[in-house]
Amino acid sequence: MNSPTLTPESELEKVNEVLPIRSIHAPFRDWAAWGGHLNSWKATTALANSLPHADHITMHPPGTRLANMIQNRWFEKACDLPLLLDAKGRIRFSLENMPWAEGSPFGRDPLDKLIGQCRDKNVGLTFDVCHMGVSGRNVLESLDRVPYELLYNVHYSDAVGYTEHLTPGKGSLPLKQFLKRLGKRGYDRYITLELEPAAFPDDLDETITTLVNIRESMEAQLVAEQGGSTHAADIS
């Protein structure tokens, strides 16, 4: 969701008819245009409430710089985000892990801190494989540390060095092993392919072929560990 003008009007309803909108990403920049960070999340929740198939919202935790923390001190005090944001009962929220630089050796591990925030604020976690990779973390070991009941969404893309959101296979992350591990855990929630526009061919037919191939490969890896289930996950 990238604009305060995005509301459930006729054009968005036409999109929803062609491809049902099930999961939404809340804004993560230009919060002043929304009247603040909290208002941007409330607007996203209102949109999700209005869409008949939507049941999930991914959110970036507020930044850790001092200016952000002063502006978003409400987030530190919030203990039930679904209630605070006026979500309908079907709507689930999750906080996404962001790229992390190594900090003080005496500081709290950022993944443990995020998991704690998810529990404190009654939300789940969106596991971004790419962000974990560019942070220098072992994505397989990190996935194992996330309690199953908190894992609501997976942002799926490749990375190499500090280059993010590459087409699977174009980076160095162990994505096939990652999907197999998800399948072994019985994961059946969202997996979101999150690529930069430059990752796609200019030709529409080639883009469709690329997406089909990626999806079929992802499903094959998941199903291989789930005993042949045809509904391994809701890949969006």
Q: What is the pLDDT of residues 137-170, one digit of tens each?
A: 999 999 999 999 999 999 999 999 989 999 999 9
The class (CATH top level) of 97-228 is alpha beta
Domain boundaries, the chain: 1-51+59-80, 97-228
Q: For residues 224 and 169, which has the higher predicted lDDT (pLDDT)?
A: 169
Mean pLDDT of 172-194: 95
Residue 157 CA to residue 173 CA, distance in Å, equals 9
Which amino acid does the sequence have at 84? L
- Per DSSP, 34 falls in state G
| Res 59: pLDDT | 96
Helix locations, the chain, DSSP H: 10-18, 37-50, 66-71, 73-77, 81-84, 110-120, 129-134, 139-145, 175-184, 204-224
Write the pLDDT tens digit of every residue in 83-126. 999 999 999 999 999 998 665 455 568 899 999 999 999 999 99
| Res 82: pLDDT | 95
